[in-house]
Amino acid sequence: MDISWDDMRTVMCLVRGGSLAAAAQELGLNYTTVARRITRAESDLGGKLFDRLADGYQPTDAGLLVASHAEQMDRQVDTLMRELQGRDANLLGPLTITAPQLLIAHVLTPVIDQFCGAYPDIDLHVRATNDLLDLNRREADLAIRISRDPGDSLKGVRLTAQQSASFATPALARAIADDPTSPIDWIVYADYAAVPKNVDSSYPNHRIRMTFDDMVAIRAAAQAGLGVARMPLFLGHASHGLVQVPVLPPQPYPDIWVVAHRDVWAAAKVMAFREMLVPFMRGRRAQFVA
Amino acid sequence: MDISWDDMRTVMCLVRGGSLAAAAQELGLNYTTVARRITRAESDLGGKLFDRLADGYQPTDAGLLVASHAEQMDRQVDTLMRELQGRDANLLGPLTITAPQLLIAHVLTPVIDQFCGAYPDIDLHVRATNDLLDLNRREADLAIRISRDPGDSLKGVRLTAQQSASFATPALARAIADDPTSPIDWIVYADYAAVPKNVDSSYPNHRIRMTFDDMVAIRAAAQAGLGVARMPLFLGHASHGLVQVPVLPPQPYPDIWVVAHRDVWAAAKVMAFREMLVPFMRGRRAQFVA
DNA sequence: ACGAAGTCATGCGAAAACGCGTGTATTTGC
DNA sequence: GCAAATACACGCGTTTTCGCATGACTTCGT
């Protein structure tokens, strides 16, 4: 009784994905190959691992058992890859970084450009997303994050403090200045569906006009003159058609960090990027705090 | 950067075995296949894993790193296999047991015969060795051992207590009886190279005639009349041409246990064997203690 | 009710992996 | 010092694995 390690990986992916097609995509294979490997694994182990139902492969208890051990093996492989990467002294090959979309668009573009110019043999992949990619699973090698601490198994340095403030169109800003007591329409973030605290007491009336779950949309709404939005200073200042309004004085906002997994922190490519990024961000402190 | 899990296993086996041929044998492959897989692994990881020296493949630091993680994965596979085996309710297929050679030869043969007759669909493999096989690595499913406790991650029940005593040829036994003060020649076990403690005080003179590292050889020497040997009662009584001599009264000796890994303890085949073995041994208590 | 999108099974040809045989270099043993 | 043994590289033919195409079947949404 023996089983191929790759077949175990296949079982794991099939349990994860729930269908042959999904597993095949994760493995970069054709789904018929996945089906054949599952059949082979079952005959090797001498028992069914999946029930073939009309809507997909349903793992049996034995299948789940195999998959759970394969998950452990998968973590070993991830760790190995990170450790090998951390030992890599070469400044060539792939490097994947991730950062929030708007930070890339309005702040990081120059340093990314500078980096690509300085290290032409490194092919840089930039994943601009608001999702926190899993650095354990090597979804990215290095991340620039807006948060209050670097995180569990990650290592990081703080790039800069940040503040937020209120922004609106010039026309709306004038209207508010003319009549501070009129109700102020807010466009707020879904996670924080309330008028910001610490608003200036000169503006007593507030109401929430709309709630978005995306900062790009919030900014667009503010630019359309639909109301006042709270956003980090760097974003408000960089947005055409928006001016800062004194409704909300500059407030503390989560810091910007550069983080990486401990294992890859010392990798040459990761270090090279950090050494360019840190002074770049430190020199632009004025963009982030008043 | 990705690597096949089976290639990791190949790297592990090559580090273990030290040569392509050894690794290939462990994997059940031709050694050229091992060589190809190593080359592929190196190109996948983008670095050398082995130095090709004249006397074999010498792992680099990176190779050792890969192998160490593969070892962890190998343990996962072993655990999985044991867990699957522990869930196996069928009374068919392979079952491997191990016991000391002499215990099999002089005690266990009847119960083994009985078991094979009762479960003809189980193909029983018996590994008669004095080496302690690694039940974690599934070198055997069930072991009958002479020791003072079942062990770390293993589960076991005590089959019987045991005693040892002194044995010699009838001629030598008579000579000793005639003149208890003449020097008594001992044939002793290498691990315990001394005259046994607690010898009867009627026999004041002792000397070690020879030392062996194997009980079969000790018994043969005793049977050849070369001296007195200490051995477990079951062995002395079962050995032609040997009689018990009163030089060493019956002494405590390590118990006999049946042990298995916790994961496989409840497997149907393992239970079936235990359920036949335990009453068999309990009913033969007289063979082991005076 | 019916088409669209999803699931999986099966058969065939292409591609990759594999085992075998041969040849070379080094080490081991007599 | 020479033969045998061990360890590896390379090339060739076979076996196995794989991807694609086709078809059956179920589910979902209009």
10-residue mean pLDDT profile of chain B (290 residues): values are 94 94 93 94 94 88 96 97 95 95 96 97 94 93 89 89 96 94 92 84 91 91 95 96 96 95 96 98 94
* Residues present in chain B in total: 290
Q: CB of A206 under 7 A from strand D?
A: no
pLDDT score for B84:
96
User: Which nucleotide's C1' sits nearest to the alpha carbon of A30?
Assistant: D19
- Flag if B80 and A93 touch (Cβ within 8 Å): no
* Distance between CA atoms of residues A263 and A85, nearest Å: 8
CATH 1.10.10.10 holds for A5-86: yes
HSE value, Cβ hemisphere, 13 Å, CA-based, for B261? 22
Task: Give mean pLDDT, residues A241-270.
Answer: 96
Of 1.20.1070.10, 3.60.10.10, 3.40.50.2030, 3.40.190.10, which CATH number belongs to B163-252? 3.40.190.10
pLDDT score for A196:
86
Task: Establish whether domains B93-160+254-287 and B163-252 are of one fold.
Answer: yes
pLDDT score for B16:
93
Q: How far is the CA of A38 from the C1' of D28 (A)?
A: 28
**Smallest Cβ distance to B45: which of A4, A45, A84?**
A84
Nucleotides of C under 7 A from a protein CB: 6-11, 17-21, 25-28
Which pLDDT band, with edges at 50, 70 and 90, does A147 fall under? confident
Q: CB of A55 under 7 A from strand C?
A: yes
Output DSSP code: residue B104: I
pLDDT score for B56:
86
Which pLDDT band, with edges at 50, 70 and 90, does A131 fall under? confident
pLDDT score for B190:
83
CATH 3.40.50.150 holds for A93-157+254-287: no
Q: Which residues of B touch A9 (CB under 8 A)?
A: 5
User: Which nucleotide's C1' sits nearest to the alpha carbon of A39?
Assistant: C9
pLDDT score for A130:
87
CA–CA distance from A25 to each of A32, A187, B191 (Å)?
11, 40, 60
**Nearest 5 degrees, angle CA A78-CA A27-CA A139?**
40
Residue A280 CB coordination number (10 Å): 17
Residue A255 CB coordination number (10 Å): 18
Nearest-CA residue relative to C1' of C6 = A55
- Flag if B6 and A5 touch (Cβ within 8 Å): yes
Lookup: tokens for B101: 């050679």
Q: Which residues of B touch A94 (CB under 8 A)?
A: 1
pLDDT score for A69:
98
B4 to chain A, any CB pair closer than 8 A? The answer is yes
Query: Treating both helix axes as pointing N-terminal to C-terminal, what angle do A5-17 and B5-17 enclose, rounded to 10 degrees?
Result: 150
- Give the rounded percent of residues in chain A with a pLDDT score beyond 70: 100
Q: CB of B36 under 7 A from strand C?
A: yes
Pinpoint the alpha helices (H) of chain B. 5-17, 20-27, 31-45, 61-86, 101-103, 109-118, 170-178, 215-223, 233-238, 268-282
- Flag if A6 and B1 touch (Cβ within 8 Å): no
B92 to chain A, any CB pair closer than 8 A? The answer is no
Query: Comparing A120-134, A227-241, B139-153, which segment has the lowest mean pLDDT?
Result: B139-153
DSSP bridge partners of A208: A186
Look at the block and give the residue holding tokens 């089959």. B159
**Domain coordinates of chain A in residue numbers?**
5-86, 93-157+254-287, 163-253
**Cβ distance A169 to A220 under 8 Å?**
no
**Cβ distance B160 to B278 under 8 Å?**
no
Max Cα–Cα distance, chain B, nearest Å = 83
Q: How far is the CA of A58 from the C1' of C5 (A)?
A: 20
- Flag if B80 and A94 touch (Cβ within 8 Å): no
pLDDT score for B232:
96
Q: CB of A53 under 7 A from strand D?
A: no
**Smallest Cβ distance to B5: which of A66, A73, A81?**
A73
Which pLDDT band, with edges at 50, 70 and 90, does A231 fall under? very high
* Closest to A141 in 3D by CA, of A186, A94, A77, A207: A94
Burial of A36 (0-12, 13-18, 19+ CB in 10 A): middle
Q: CB of A29 under 7 A from strand D?
A: yes
Lookup: tokens for A277: 């990024």
DSSP bridge partners of A50: A59
| Alpha-carbon torsion (A165, A169, A170, A175), positive or negative | negative
**Who contacts A64 (Cβ-Cβ below 8 Å, separation ≥6)?**
A15
CATH 3.80.10.10 holds for B93-160+254-287: no
Burial of A22 (0-12, 13-18, 19+ CB in 10 A): middle
pLDDT score for B12:
97
* Distance between CA atoms of residues A189 and A232, nearest Å: 12
Which pLDDT band, with edges at 50, 70 and 90, does A247 fall under? very high
3-state secondary structure of B199: coil
Nearest-CA residue relative to C1' of C17 = B33
**CATH number of the domain at A163-253, please?**
3.40.190.10
* Distance between CA atoms of residues A207 and A225, nearest Å: 15
pLDDT score for B1:
76
* Distance between CA atoms of residues B36 and B51, nearest Å: 15
Lookup: tokens for B96: 């491997």
- Stated as kind and residue range, the H or E segment containing A135 is none
Output DSSP code: residue B182: S
CA–CA distance from B114 to each of A111, B108, B117, B282 (Å)?
79, 10, 5, 16
Give me the total of CB pairs closer than 8 Å, taking one residue from chain A and one from chain B: 76
Look at the block and give the residue holding tokens 């092919």. A123
A93 to chain B, any CB pair closer than 8 A? The answer is yes
pLDDT score for A1:
76
- Flag if A69 and B77 touch (Cβ within 8 Å): yes
Lookup: tokens for A284: 């632009």
Look at the block and give the residue holding tokens 């982030």. A288
The mean pLDDT of chain A is: 94
